[in-house]
Amino acid sequence: MANVVLLNQAETELRQALAQYAHASRQRELATVVRRLRLGLEQALRAQFETDRPEADFLALAEALIPTYVWRLQALIPVLAELERKPGRVSPMALRATAASLANIAVNVWPRLFQTAPPPLVHPPAAGAALGRVERSPVDMPTAAHPDWEDLTLWVVLSLLIPWLLGLTLRWWAIRVVPRVIPLLLAVMALTLVYLWLRSLWGLITRFGLVRLLVVGTLTAAAIAVGLGFWGSAQPPEDTVLTRLRYGVRRLPDEVTRWPGYLFSAGAHTGDRVLALLLATSPPDARSVPTPTVPMPNGGEAFRIGIAVVVHTGGSVLRCRSSPGLDHPQVARFADGTRLTLVAGPREADGLRWWQVAQGDLRCWSAETFLRPGVVGDR
């Protein structure tokens, strides 16, 4: 005995799904239509056998009531299961074919399920063309397949971002003062971006086809080679069109591989600049100590390579940097009273005189303002 309430709900769901299918053009819309058609058909079949077969699955119910279409439903089960588990892996072509098949089945079995006339079936332009016929929708839908600009834009942005992030990661890993957890997190982020890059590329391949992408890539490379040959080179000895084209083709691999190198170096430079901004703070008493504009008369005589010096910061911590200058990252911190040895210098930078100091195997640069001579010859 059929459940009238559930049957009416299934009929309403299928009517709405077929109306939505007539205007579906994007991948998300097609996925929604497939789910609604599948749900509506299952509800209609269960409404017919609610008391007799409560535990039967979708295919068993279809075999009992619409056996002619069981083989078509069996062919769609893998796509439906993949759509429930990982929707992003279902290609637009498979979605269009599945939606068209479910819509045809729903209209053909409509009189048997609901004992009423089925609604008119209107295929979207892309699905109708795939089925060999196009039925115009009341709404004027575009007939051309639009490129998936989201995947294309994401792929281009990630292609530029990944080398930059790798340069930043490796640079911060090489600097000892940076906690190791930061470059590790950046490495995980880079791997995630690589996964998204491959997924976007796969989305473009499944939408346009590998052959089309190769043709477009070849034409783009040829256009870049022509540009390099005519506008990116000096005048060749034999200034002919063929000579310039050959020059552009030879230069193309170098130019293409040079951009990731530029981005990688930009990421490493960004790491240095960020560390310089974070670590270029002077000790608290630095503002109270006057910065000389000319060398102090006795300072140059007292300081020389080989003598021992003592950190004198008034209780603060001395930030010792990788090179002379406040914009360079710090590589060590010394407490007030630490004994060091001058090994190189002096150099002028940022209005200060800098000396390279040593403590064991560690070498770094410190401003003379925060050092005081110790015992001569003391190492």
State the chain's mean pLDDT as an integer. 75
Residue 227's pLDDT is what?
74
Tens digit of each residue's pLDDT (9 = 90 or more) over 277-314: 766 554 444 344 444 433 444 444 577 888 888 888 87
Question: Quick one: pLDDT at residue 197?
Answer: 85
Q: Are 378 and 307 in contact (CB under 8 A)?
A: yes
The answer to whether residue 53 scores a pLDDT higher than 70 is no
Total-model pTM: 0.37
| Structure confidence at residue 286 (pLDDT) | 39
| DSSP per-residue string spanning 36-89 | HHHHHHHHHHHHHTTTT-TT--HHHHHHHH-GGGHHHHHHHHHHHHHHHH-GGG
Q: State residue 148's pLDDT score.
A: 57
CATH of span 285-373: 2.30.30.40
Tens digits of residue pLDDT in 179-196: 888 888 888 998 988 888
Q: What pLDDT sits at residue 302?
A: 73
From 199-208, 285-294, 356-365, the region with the lowest mean pLDDT: 285-294
Residue 367 has pLDDT above 80, yes or no: yes
Q: What is the pLDDT of residue 170?
A: 85
Residue 241: pLDDT band with limits 50, 70, 90: low
Question: What is the structure's pLDDT at 171?
Answer: 82
Sheet holding 371-373, edge to edge: 330-334, 318-321, 362-367, 352-359, 339-349, 308-311, 371-373
> What integer pLDDT is reported at residue 291 of this predicted model?
41
How confident is the model over 250-279, as pLDDT tens digits?
777 776 677 777 788 888 888 777 777 766
Q: What pLDDT, on the 0 to 100 scale, is given for residue 232?
A: 62
DSSP 329-357: PEEEEE-TT-EEEEEEEEEEETTEEEEEE
What is the structure's pLDDT at 11?
Answer: 85
C-alpha–C-alpha distance, residues 303 and 31, integer Å: 77
pLDDT tens digit sequence for 125-181: 754 444 444 344 333 333 334 445 666 787 888 888 888 888 888 888 887 777 888
Q: Which residue has the higher pLDDT, 106 or 287?
A: 106
Identify the pLDDT of residue 135: 41
Q: Say what the pLDDT of residue 149 is.
A: 65
pLDDT digits (tens, 9 = 90+) for 335-355: 888 888 888 878 888 778 888
Residue 375: the pLDDT is: 53
Whether pLDDT at 231 is above 70: no
Q: What is the mean pLDDT of residues 307-326?
A: 82
pLDDT band at 377 (very low <50, low <70, confident <90, very high): very low
Q: How many helices (H) and strands (E) does the chain have?
A: 12, 7
Half-sphere exposure of 184 (CA within 13 A, CB side): 3
Quick one: average pLDDT of 314-322?
A: 80
